[in-house]
Structure 1
Amino acid sequence: MRYNYNIRMHALLVFSFLIFLSSCAKFVEIDPPSGKVESNRLFADKNAAIAAASGIYASMLTSTLQMTNGGATLYGGLSADEMVYTSTNEELLAFQNNTLIPTYSTSLYSRLWSSAYKTVYNTNSVLEGLSVSESIPDSLRKQLTGEMLTIRALNYFYLINFFGDIPFQTSTDYRVNSLMQRTTAGNILDSLITDLELAKQLMKDNYPSVSKARPNKWVATALLARLCLYAKKWDKAAENASLVINSGKYQLEPDPSNVFNISSKETLWQLSSDYRNTAEGTTFVPASSTARPAYAISTFLLEAFSTDDKRKNQWMKSSISGGATYFYPFKYRIRVSTPITEYYVVLRLAEQYLIKAEAKAMLNDNNAAINDLNTIRQRAGIENVVIPDGQSLAELILTERQKELFCEWSHRFFDLKRTGKADAILGRLKAPNWQATDVLYPIPQSELDINPSLVQNPGY
């Protein structure tokens, strides 16, 4: 249809312009813009506004292993206890061995820091445009504002969990951003929670896109539940997770092998591409059954599963190379680009059950916590919760999160940090390299060089 063609053409043009805008983030290499980017010029009509949003979603999948395209999963998985790198790249080994240095430009800067800040910059640009464009229907303005707040919150969530205190940029003003000091991660988290509360109110129940590529109110609610959990706001975490679970729009897939399919009923938010399957499928699935995978599941993770756990049997696969057996992540099963049968899942319902279980346990509502935990375990085909002697319900939930969310978006690395378990577990597994300061990555040296207001994280 001509309408869809026009939207796609708008999106292509706007995406190109967004790339130009986001390049302003690397201020040292170009002449700075004079004040704020005049974002309202993007939005002559509603199609231009929708295309601007579409361009940002496309930019989140531009490069393999950028923050929102497999990077959070890979680098967090290596830094934690989930994966082992089987080759010789220095930067990748440094994540695994917790020996990072600030000058790593490919992984730390380009794929994690820079890619996330470019997305933040682009969302700020669109938000500024939405605030001044008069030709956009109010309902669309609200929906797109909610989407941009949700995307920005997702990217800042990963930035603060990888890097700690960081510059918190909410405008496109170079004069403000170029010399911005670090804001504490806790204050940023509180601001993101406020943003998501607003996004939840601005967006509608239904998805504004054919697929689940553009968030609805339940996506904002689910991300809000996660952020409240991290902020130890147990009541709010349980409340928002319950809203998602009880919304009636999602359900756990009975068969784990269907969880990551395009049509999965469990998916809340997925990033889609017209040109390829997922970066994680390409990265983790070896070229043949006899090829050594570049990233193998760690022995520590393998041993966390019982033999009858469907998640181990369906979300991992093995190959034999050089007489050795390697297990690798198999949540995404397609290595080749086409035909497209998998989208990249950002949020799914199972996490909401685990958020609610943990929050309820912290509120001493153990029966409710156990019920939610059993919902996840029953889908995995394992017995209901039995709390072993000497182990708390909270520890059991952490282990269940390890098994359900393994090799997904750095959940395990962040869980170990936020629960204070990183030193005990990673210090033992990664001795003698592990230091307490390794819970944060170094601020990229290139950022320190251009912003004298920034200071390096301890230990680097």
Structure 2
Amino acid sequence: MFSFNTQTKNTMKKLLNRYITFIFLCSGILFGSCKKYINEGPIDTPTTDNFWTSQKAAESGLAGAYGLLRSALVNGHSYYVFGDATANEFSNLNDNTAYGSLKPSNQWNFNYVPYQAGSLQNWTMFYQVISQCNLIISKVPNIPASTFTGDVTAIKNQMLGEAYFIRAYCYYYITQVWGEPVIVTEAYADPINAKPIARSTDAQGFAQAVIDAKKAISLMQYGYADLSKVAVQANRGTAFALLAKIYMWQKQYQPAAAAADSVIQRGGYNLESGAAFSNIFKGHSQESIFEMNMLYSPNQNEAQSGTDGIFAIFLANPFVFGKTTSWNVNTELVNNLYDTTSTSTDVRVKATFYGLLSNALMVKYANVVYQNPSQQTLPFVSNNMVLMRLADIYLLKAEANYNLSNYGAAVQNLNIVRARAGIDPYTLGDPTDLLYTIMDERGRELFGEGQWYFDLVRSRLIDDPNYPNFVEGYLTNRINNRGYLWPLDLRTLLPQDPLLTQNAWWSQNGL
């Protein structure tokens, strides 16, 4: 395990800024000229030999991979559009008129949205992350040991493990969103002239993510030597959590439950108390397993703008002074999911929502600070984007146990999360009702965390009319034909890889 001292952190910050600037310059050159290959930029310094030569350079390259992943998830508000807006959690997405097609009356027309939010049809930024990981995996083993401080083998293993984890997360996420990824696992010396590659199957995409997650597990350890890295740097527990989520898509429920157990029993994570529920999103909580660093700091600010950053879509007055537009919460769904009466004991209601009687806001990410506090100008949101946390894993294990007919164990897992929320334990009755309750609990617990749409699709409850919170407007024929996947912008992507094909549902419907 490795940690950074203050001098190293400052050096890395300067190097990383130059490095990421170069990444996007290279990407722009490539995407304007490449006619043969998909979307892997030559994400390297001007000459490979003069960059990948030291521990500091490797640390900077790894930080660059995390930074690129954060940019990919933030771009076009995509993380929350993909995982929340499509699950009917918000009734009004009024920061962009194109999002008006994301509603039951328009049958959730993904085809229309990208005309004003093109990033939602373009997986390029995730392939930039993958390309960076491929470079790290290729270059780090050959960096001279003399440039490292500490246990060289342990440091290199940790770096490689993080790169494998990030690549696993990207293939998992691409396969969830667009399906049938193009699988690239090597760093190309000449990416512009590399041969084009056809799309793989969903099964192959998830399988590649499993391979990478297992490799990450073998290279990393549990825990953190540097507390400033909690949750924002991957470790063995992070990789096991991802593995559990991938196995659920593969319907491999026994391995999913086992991977969840590795997180729960050996990861060192603990649920926050009900009273401290909001602390989860302030960063580095004891519950968080993996998150993107976006906290505000006057000196090294990684925070999102409070007016147009990714968290700002959820906020308006009184949380951001003078801001009047936001994504408004679908109060009908909230009232169906939660007990919102005056006698409710569910701590998540107050911690998650504001103003449920009219124009309700989702306030998980409402830790707003102003650079000019006296005049309330230049707002920033000092929250981290939490991608995986312990309550999620308890509920995944409950779902896995349900599918294994281990109903008693499923109820036990479910009730751990319900107890923290302050609501009554669930008593087993009809098994189908148990599945519905687990999925409702995921909806309650993970509202606005970019996940519930994928949960509903994966469990096939999204179009099940017997499930009380199925999402009206998704046609069964569309779901059967994988129309839950987003289309690709082939006008942009085909020049990069002529072997790409459109997702079948969208191709059949004129895209």
Do the structures match in fold with TM over 0.5?
A: yes
Structure 2 residue matching 1:166: 3-state secondary structure: coil
Paired position in structure 1 for 2:329? 297
Aligned CA distance change for structure 1 residues 420 and 384 (closer, same or farther; 3 Å): same
CA–CA distance in structure 1, aligned partners of residues 395 and 93 of structure 2: 32
Q: Which runs of 5+ in 1 are unaligned?
A: none
Shift of 1:102: 7.7
Aligned CA distance change for structure 1 residues 428 and 148 (closer, same or farther; 3 Å): closer
Paired position in structure 2 for 1:92? 99
Shift of 1:182: 0.7
- CA distances 1:263-308 after superposition (whole Å, capped 9, x unpaired): 4211122221441435443221114379654212222243211132
Report the TM-score when normalising by structure 2.
0.79
Larger CA deviation: 114-123 vs 422-431: 422-431
Aligned CA distance change for structure 1 residues 433 and 183 (closer, same or farther; 3 Å): closer
Paired position in structure 2 for 1:17? 22
CA–CA distance in structure 1, aligned partners of residues 171 and 30 of structure 2: 15
Task: Give the residue type in structure 2 aligned to 1:441.
Answer: W
Task: Give the residue type in structure 2 aligned to 1:60.
Answer: L
Paired position in structure 2 for 1:311? 348
Task: Give the residue type in structure 2 aligned to 1:421.
Answer: L
> Runs ≥4 in structure 1, deviation > 6 angstroms?
30-38, 431-434
Task: Give the residue type in structure 1 aligned to 2:367.
Answer: I
CA contact (8 A) 1:266 1:349 kept: yes
CA–CA distance in structure 1, aligned partners of residues 303 and 208 of structure 2: 34
Shift of 1:104: 2.8
Aligned CA distance change for structure 1 residues 382 and 39 (closer, same or farther; 3 Å): farther
Q: In the alignment, which of 125, 135, 146 is matched to residue 125 of structure 1?
A: 135
Aligned CA distance change for structure 1 residues 177 and 157 (closer, same or farther; 3 Å): farther
CA contact (8 A) 2:72 2:126 kept: no
Which aligned pairs between 1:165-204 and structure 2 lie closer than 5 A? 165-173=180-188, 174=191, 179-204=196-221
- CA distances 1:362-418 after superposition (whole Å, capped 9, x unpaired): 222222111110000011111001346584322221111111112112x11111211
Q: In the alignment, which of 289, 296, 301 is matched to residue 275 of structure 1?
A: 301
CA contact (8 A) 1:281 1:330 kept: no
Task: Give the residue type in structure 2 aligned to 1:366.
Answer: Y
Corresponding residue pairs, total: 453
Task: Give the residue type in structure 1 aligned to 2:303.
Answer: N
CA contact (8 A) 1:370 1:385 kept: yes
Structure 2 residue matching 1:422: 3-state secondary structure: coil
Paired position in structure 2 for 1:238? 257
Paired position in structure 1 for 2:376? none
Q: Which runs of 5+ in 2 are unaligned?
A: 1-5, 295-299, 372-379, 507-511
Paired position in structure 2 for 1:419? 459
CA–CA distance in structure 1, aligned partners of residues 316 and 36 of structure 2: 44
Paired position in structure 2 for 1:348? 389
CA–CA distance in structure 2, aligned partners of residues 387 and 335 of structure 1: 42
Q: In the alignment, which of 221, 230, 234 is matched to residue 240 of structure 2?
A: 221
Matched, 1:378 2:431: no
RMSD, aligned CA: 3.2
Matched, 1:150 2:165: yes
Structure 2 residue matching 1:79: 3-state secondary structure: helix
Structure 1 residue matching 2:212: 3-state secondary structure: helix
Aligned CA distance change for structure 1 residues 416 and 220 (closer, same or farther; 3 Å): same
Report the TM-score when normalising by structure 1.
0.88
Structure 1 residue matching 2:246: 3-state secondary structure: helix
Q: What is the identity percentage for the equivalent residue pairs of Structure 1 and Structure 2?
A: 22
Aligned CA distance change for structure 1 residues 337 and 146 (closer, same or farther; 3 Å): farther
CA–CA distance in structure 1, aligned partners of residues 425 and 41 of structure 2: 61
CA–CA distance in structure 2, aligned partners of residues 367 and 58 of structure 1: 42
Aligned CA distance change for structure 1 residues 385 and 103 (closer, same or farther; 3 Å): closer
CA–CA distance in structure 2, aligned partners of residues 379 and 103 of structure 1: 38
Matched, 1:430 2:446: no
Aligned CA distance change for structure 1 residues 448 and 91 (closer, same or farther; 3 Å): farther
CA contact (8 A) 1:271 1:344 kept: yes
CA–CA distance in structure 2, aligned partners of residues 4 and 150 of structure 1: 22
CA contact (8 A) 1:267 1:345 kept: yes
Q: In the alignment, which of 27, 50, 63 is matched to residue 54 of structure 1?
A: 63
CA–CA distance in structure 1, aligned partners of residues 474 and 221 of structure 2: 49
